[in-house]
Amino acid sequence: MAKRSRILLLCLLTASAAEARPIRRLFEPTDLELEGAGVAELDLEVGAVKGVDSSRIVVPDAEFDLGLTDQLELDVDGAFTLDGAAGYRVSPDNLWVALKAGLLSFQNASRSRVLLMGLQLGPKLPIARQAQGLGLEGLFLFGLSYTQTHFIANVGGLVDPTVENTSRPCGYEGGLSFDRDLTDTWNISTEIGGVYFFSTDPRQLHTAASLAWAPSKSWAFSGTFMLGMSRGSDPYGVFFGVSPKVHLL
C-alpha cells in the first residue's frame, strides 16, 4: 500500500510539473539585417500549430526592431498563443529583449560577396505563466551573401526564467537559414533550427520554408510552413506574416 502511494504521488508531481511548464516556441534562426538609425520594423505572424499534445493558435508571434545606429539594433521578441489544452486561453511566452550588433564585415571590390559577423544578446523577461526570475539568451551570427543569395548561421545558448516545480530550462541552440531574392519583390527562404536542452525540456529540431512578397520598402508579406523533426518539436504549423517598417527620425 505504501509503495502504491509513493508511485501515485510521483505521478501526480510529474503531471503537475508538466502542466506548469509553459509551451515553448521553436527556436527560429535570426538574420544579420540591421535597421538603419531611427528605423523601426514590426514583424507579426499569426497561424495554427499542431502541438505535441494539443493544437494552438498563434496570436501573434511578434518581433520589434529599432535601429539605434547603423551597426546596433534593439530587438524585442515575444509571442502569444491560444492553447487548445487550456480551453484556448491566452498564454504568453517569455519576452526576449536584446541588442543586436554588427561586429565584422568583409566584402570584395564589387560588393558581390559579403562576409558578416554579429552578436545578439539580452535578458529573457518572465512573462510566461508561472515564470520567475530573469533569463538570458545569446547568439553569435555568421552571414555570407553572394549577389541575391544569403546564408546565415546561428550558434548560442539560453537560460530561461524558472518555472514553479520544474528545472530551469537551459541549453545550446543553433540553426542555419538560406534565402534567395527571386525578383525585386519576391523572396524564398528555408531554415533548420534546434535546441539541445540540458534541462528536462525535450530537445527540438525543425525545418521551415517561406515565401515573401515586398511590394515596397515599407511593407512585406509572407507565408511559412513549419515541419517538426524531433519528438520535442511541434509536428507542423502554418503561419502568415506582415512586416511594416517606418522611419521614426
Provide the 3-class DSSP secondary structure of residue 247.
strand
Q: What is the mean predicted confidence (pLDDT) over 87-91?
A: 83
Grid cell listed for 99:
541588442
Question: In 3D, which of 212, 230, 226, 199 has the Cα closest to residue 28?
Answer: 226
19 band by pLDDT with thresholds 50, 70 and 90: very low
Least confident of 7-16, 123-132, 146-155, 215-224: 7-16
Residue 133 pLDDT greater than 50, yes or no: yes
* CA–CA separation, 72 and 95 (whole Å): 20
Residue 46 pLDDT greater than 90, yes or no: yes
Which helix H or strand E contains 108, and what residues bound it?
none
Q: For residue 90, what pLDDT is reported?
A: 87
Grid cell listed for 92:
504568453
The fold adopted by the segment(s) 2-247 is Porin (2.40.160)
Question: In 3D, which of 122, 143, 112 has the Cα closest to residue 78?
Answer: 122
Q: For residue 2, what pLDDT is reported?
A: 43
pTM assigned to the model: 0.88
Question: In 3D, which of 196, 126, 117, 192 has the Cα closest to residue 164?
Answer: 126
182 band by pLDDT with thresholds 50, 70 and 90: very high
Domain ranges of the chain: 2-247
Q: What is the mean predicted confidence (pLDDT) over 153-167?
A: 90
Higher-scoring residue by pLDDT: 51, 60: 60
Q: What is the mean predicted confidence (pLDDT) over 182-186?
A: 96
Residue 220 pLDDT greater than 70, yes or no: yes
Average pLDDT, the chain: 88
| Cα torsion angle, 16, 85, 210, 244, sign | negative
Q: For residue 23, what pLDDT is reported?
A: 62
Residue 232 pLDDT greater than 90, yes or no: no
21 band by pLDDT with thresholds 50, 70 and 90: low
